[in-house]
Amino acid sequence: IYFVADSGKQKENGRVTFKFSVKCAFQSRAFVRESTKQEHSNYVLIHEQDHYDIALTYASMLQNVLSTGDYSGDKYSEEIDKRYDDLMKTYYKTQEDYDHEVNPDGTEDKPKQYLWDMRIRKCLQNNTTQYFSSPEIAVQDVRAPWQVVKRLPGGKVLPVVVRTRP
């Protein structure tokens, strides 16, 4: 997660505002084993996508935190860096918590992975980080777009289930 800022605009009270552009990027080779050049399993790809989605959530928050502030004319650089550093500490902690819960000893924990999938989707949907530590009950209403199924008018429940199963 990184950002660039314009040259700033000084307000009448001496404070400075900036327009920020926050970016979130991962190296594409994170999805391929260097030793064999083979793609990872679907589980690993989902896990890595979740890392990116966590980063995307924090990038959105950083955009908001930096853009809504005004800064002193002589110490704006330190003030911006402090906001960035404070948010990044939380971001790195969330990434560590995710890895620790989902892969505590290097093995796959699919129920925990599923819980984190729901937490991450809920945070993305609501542009917040408050659900990263939520219990399943708080995030169980999250559904991916392909999971939303509408019954046809007059349709019975069983045919809908049969029609939408994997």
Interval 126-162: pLDDT, tens: 888 999 998 888 887 776 544 444 545 565 554 444 4
Is 23's pLDDT higher than 70? Answer: yes
The whole-model pTM stands at: 0.77
Measured over the CA atoms of residue 121, residue 127, residue 131 and residue 136, the dihedral's sign is negative
Asked if the model's pLDDT at residue 70 lies above 50, the reply is: yes
Token digits of residue 92: 């790195």
Low-confidence winner among 27-31, 113-117, 139-143 (lowest mean pLDDT): 27-31
Residue 163 confidence class, pLDDT cut points 50, 70, 90:
very low
pLDDT on residue 36: 57
pLDDT at 97 over 70: yes
What is the residue-averaged pLDDT of the chain?
82
Nearest by Cα to 73 from 4, 2, 7: 7
Q: What is the mean pLDDT of residues 5-34?
A: 83
